[in-house]
Amino acid sequence: MLAATDVPFDASQMRKKNYQDALSKFESDDKEARKNYNEEKDEGFTSDKFETWVTQNRPSWGVSKKTLQGRSDELTQTAMAAFGLAYQEKLEKDKSDFSKAAFQAGHYPEFI
């Protein structure tokens, strides 16, 4: 495991910025896609589930989602290089806690 001071600061900052940019792009694409999907569903133009509709009608949504996943992986790898197993354990615990809270609140994530 590397000490946090051994991880190049510029590289981690660039990965963080790349992640934030990809997140903003995906949030925008997702918001627009869901708006269009709901309009088409409300008007009776589609009865498809969102995950089917979006892959057929909004390929840019899939591209921005894959880009976001890639940037997230890069940022995670940087943190793991810096903080090792402790970061991985925290990440898994946070994911588990988030999923439990979501399910308890009645929210079920769309896995696409």
Q: Are 44 and 38 in contact (CB under 8 A)?
A: no
Q: In terms of residues, how long is the chain? A: 112
**pTM value?**
0.73
Please give the Cα distance from 112 to 61 (Å, whole number): 11
Please give the Cα distance from 4 to 8 (Å, whole number): 9
Please give the Cα distance from 79 to 86 (Å, whole number): 10
At which residue do the structure tokens 């890639």 appear? 70
Query: pLDDT digit string (tens) for 3-47?
Result: 555 555 566 788 889 999 999 999 999 999 999 999 999 999 999
Query: pLDDT digit string (tens) for 41-64?
Result: 999 999 999 999 999 999 999 999
Query: pLDDT digit string (tens) for 65-98?
Result: 999 999 999 988 888 887 888 888 888 888 888 7
